[in-house]
Amino acid sequence: MNIKVGDTVKVIAGDDKGSTGKVLKVIRTKNRVIVEGVAMVKKHNKPNSNNPKGGITEKESSIHISNVSLTTKDGEITRVGYRIEDDKKVRYSLKNNEII
């Protein structure tokens, strides 16, 4: 997988197309990612000791990894390449050749 936790991605397909956010979690077994502020769903919570009243909260839902693309520092979408620098494998942007 080219996308890791902490990367800034842009949604390229689906209801939230065009929005950007930071990757919070990568679910490798299902090929899905959770992006900050994208695919928000409402969750109904029962009352408990932490939240005595219960209520409705909003949280991020996962989206398929094929629907997001990595962005450069300028905010453009890019594909990812790999190369060896100083005996380390690094990811770099194929659009402008900068290290991610």
Structure tokens given for 70: 């990595």
pLDDT of 10: 96
| The CATH number of the domain covering residues in 8-72 | 2.30.30.30
Q: Which amino acid is at 85?
A: E
3-23 residue pLDDT tens: 999 999 999 999 999 999 999
Would you kindly state where each structural domain of the chain is located, as residue ranges? 8-72
pTM for the predicted model, two decimal places: 0.84
3-state helix, strand, coil in the chain (%, to 5): 5, 50, 50
Structure tokens given for 35: 């992006």
pLDDT of 100: 86
Q: Are the beta carbons of 80 and 92 closer than 8 angstroms?
A: yes
Which residue positions in the chain have pLDDT lower than 50? none
